[in-house]
Structures are given as structure tokens and as C-alpha cells.
Structure 1
């Protein structure tokens, strides 16, 4: 957990689970996997379980942390919280009962806004009707290339108050993207020593579609060797829109 986050579109992070496994091209240079290895070497208790080296890595095995469920109750001021910046709540090995407990905490703390992001959109859709969806939970899916567009169709079937897309790292054009039922789109390039470049046309296409369809658009970064290397202006404009209202 971090009471403050450097991620531009949130204020804090909360990790009731840690660890994950690669599932698509956007995972190839996973920042969380690299960070988990470092945290394990530092002795961090939450990062001592090693994942399968074929899909995960040191300190990055999927692990649930029941003791972390109390953390949001201790935050005195309201904040926007990215849930599981170091994991995926809808990973197949996260028990549904534990997912429910996370949702109960979010419902119990309506002063906070929770942003949940997953690449496991199919499981999300399959269990969505077995979860209670409070109005302060925003649900998103990652969409890195057009190959992942079916995740958006899964998300559309989820009764979240706000549904959003994280097109980061954006690795190709999203031709065929439909924003029906989507309230917010984040886009951004990859960062790190092995970053893959992002074509400006891919970003402009998404931005233009959001403007045309009145969907909030947030441009996080161009990426590069470091997250801030390329800045975050798009054609001279900083796009930091957030969903303006919670849909009924």
C-alpha cells in the first residue's frame, strides 16, 4: 500500500493481493514484476513467494493478504485508490470469496473512490453478477492492441458505476474500438530500458474518438527510458480528464 501514488490518474494504491502472471503482450515488460524482485531482495514480507519463472518471477507469485483489508478504514481523508497496482484482483487464483471481501471493504468506505483494473476480463464478466457493485467502484480493463478488444465487450456487461479502459502500454492501433458504455479512457506509452515505441497516430485516434463520443480522456505519458522521459502533452495539450459524474 502507498498512501500517495506517483501514478497520474490516482492518489493512492492498495494491494490486498500481490503477484501475477503474464497473459498478453502488454505484460512483456511488466513494471510490477521488476519491482517485486527488488522488494523481495529488500526483505519485504509481501513479496517472498516466487512465481512460475515462465510467466512470473521472484517475489511475484499470486498471494492474498487478508491483513491488508483493514487499510482503507484507516485513511482519514477521502482519496482515489488504485486497487492492486501490484496484482490482478480477477486472477484465476484469487478465491471469489476474497474478491467479495475486497468489494465489501470498498462498499464500507464510500468516502473513497476505487479504481480496479484487470486483464482477466472474461473472469470479471463471469463473476460480476455474484458481486455487489457499490457506486464508488470504477472497473477497467487493459487494452494494449486490437487483439485485446474483446475485453471491452466483457467490461460492457459489468454493472460498475464507471467503466474505463487502460490503453497502456499502447502497442498498436485500436481499429474497431467501440466506446459504447465506456466512461473513461487512459492511454500511454511504455517506459523502461526495453520500452516499445508508440505511434502518435494511435493516441490521436483514441483521443479523437473520445472527444467525438464525449468520453473522458486521460493521456498519461509518451514513455521512454523513464516514465517521464517523453512528457505527457499530446499536440501541445495536457489531457487529464476524469469521469465528471457517476452514471446512474
Structure 2
């Protein structure tokens, strides 16, 4: 958990479990995997089980109480150490004990996800949950049936794209989800044009989303980021009325003045709807 997260575009981060599996080029230097390996935890890959986060539900209700007292809407990013729409995986607890079916209340990640969707989201109206995934094709498989017709006003569905191929492949999958949608174009690894049309439609990629976050990679192994890529997305967003948030060049180089654009959707404020 991270209260008052260091991630610039969110107030808090929330993780129900720790662990995932790489799916595209953006995952190559995943900080969450590197961190797990430093702790000697084997949490990545198809055959690895995930670590349950003990404090996740108590933390999120604390965030809700704080936001309610402040009469504000606070953004919560789910999840920096996991993918909420990964297929269900087994888990172990903070003591290393593998959780067992019919013995433990929660023994796989799908059960935690269901509890979050069915209990946490409707009881936290002051939190805007940013559900970011590299698996947008799984969203409609795992959200509650009622969300498909009436998506919660305090949820945004997002996907991570890093180059034109991932944009072309993943944004149409995200568009199949009813509700508020956003893109995390980070780490951006190449030029991306969001004004191209989705295959088989007259809609452009940029027409399908409500917010775009952009930035380069950070860390010792960071891959190069061309700030002109950010300017291209900034200009496309401005022309099409899409809020644009530029996060970073690489956490070392300063953000150029013309890329200091930190916009949010208006409906991230209480009382404002899309």
C-alpha cells in the first residue's frame, strides 16, 4: 500500500496481492518484479503463486474515510504490484503459508478481486479507482455482470500501451468495456499516433478514451524516451479535448516547460459526472 503515493497522477496506490507475469515490451524492466526478486520472492510467471497483501482492505477504507472528511474525490491506483485482471492465481500469506481451498477465507486472487468489486467499490464513493491492466481483453470476463450495463461512476478502466503495436492491439480491447477509460502510455518506447482508426471502424484510437497519462521509463536500465513523442500525444489530446498528464522524462532529466501539462478529467471531482 502507499498512502500519498509517489506516483504523481494518483493520491494513493492499492494492491490486493503481489505478483504478475510479463505480457508485452513494457514489462521488460518491471520494477515490481525486480523488487520481488530483491526480497527473494518468486511471484512472477505463469506457474508462480501470488502473495496476498494483508492490509489492502483496511487501507482502502481508511482512504475513503479521509476523502469523505475532506469532501473530496481521491484517486486510487490499483495496482502497482499486480494486474487486477490477471487470471486467478493461488496465494500465500505474509508468513509464507500457502492458502488452501475450504480452509482459508481467500485462497486465490479471483476471490480478492470479487470482494473488491462487490464490496469495496460501492462503499467507497469518495475514491476514484484507476484499474490499470495490460490485459484489457479480460475486463469483461471478471467485472460484475451489473457493471456491463451500469459501470460505477467511481471506476476508470485503463490499459498500458508502449508503442504503436500495443496501442493498435489493446485500445480496441479496452473500447469493448462500458465505462470511463484511460491510457497509461508509459514507458513510451516509440512514436505513437492515436489519431489512426481502429481496424474495421471509423473511430480513431483517441476517440475511445477519456484521459491519457504519458511518460518515459526510469531506473538504471531505462530505455530512451524522445520528448517529441510526448509532444505529439500532448497536441493530439489538446486538439481532441482529452485531458493529458505528462508524468516524467526518466525521473532524472527535468520535464521541459512545454510538457508540464498535468490535467485530470473533470469528473474526478465530487458532483461532476461525465
Give the TM-score taking structure 1 as reference length.
0.84
Q: 1:220 aligned to 2:242?
A: no
2:58 to 37, 48, 70: 70
Instruction: Note if contact 2:231-2:259 (Cα within 8 Å) is conserved in structure 1.
Output: no
What pairs with 1:98-177 in structure 2 (closer than 5 Å)? 98-103=112-117, 104-128=119-143, 130=145, 132=147, 133-149=151-167, 150-160=169-179, 162-175=180-193, 176=196
Instruction: Note if contact 2:43-2:51 (Cα within 8 Å) is conserved in structure 1.
Output: no
Give the TM-score taking structure 2 as reference length.
0.76
Alignment root-mean-square deviation, CA: 2.3
Q: How many residues align?
A: 230
| Structure 1: unaligned runs, 5 residues or longer | 42-47
Report the counterpart of residue 45 of structure 1 in structure 2.
none
Deviation of the 1:140 alpha carbon = 0.6
What pairs with 1:1-248 in structure 2 (closer than 5 Å)? 1-38=1-38, 40=39, 48=41, 50-51=42-43, 55=45, 61-65=49-53, 68-75=56-63, 76-78=65-67, 79-94=74-89, 95-103=109-117, 104-128=119-143, 130=145, 132=147, 133-149=151-167, 150-160=169-179, 162-175=180-193, 176=196, 178-223=205-250, 227=251, 229-233=252-256, 236-245=258-267, 247-248=273-274
Structure 2 residue matching 1:90: 3-state secondary structure? coil
Instruction: Note if contact 1:18-1:61 (Cα within 8 Å) is conserved in structure 2.
Output: no
Deviation of the 1:159 alpha carbon = 1.9
Structure 1 residue matching 2:23: 3-state secondary structure? coil
| Structure 2: unaligned runs, 5 residues or longer | 68-73, 90-108, 197-203
Report the counterpart of residue 199 of structure 2 in structure 1.
none
Rg: which structure is higher? 2
Deviation of the 1:70 alpha carbon = 3.2
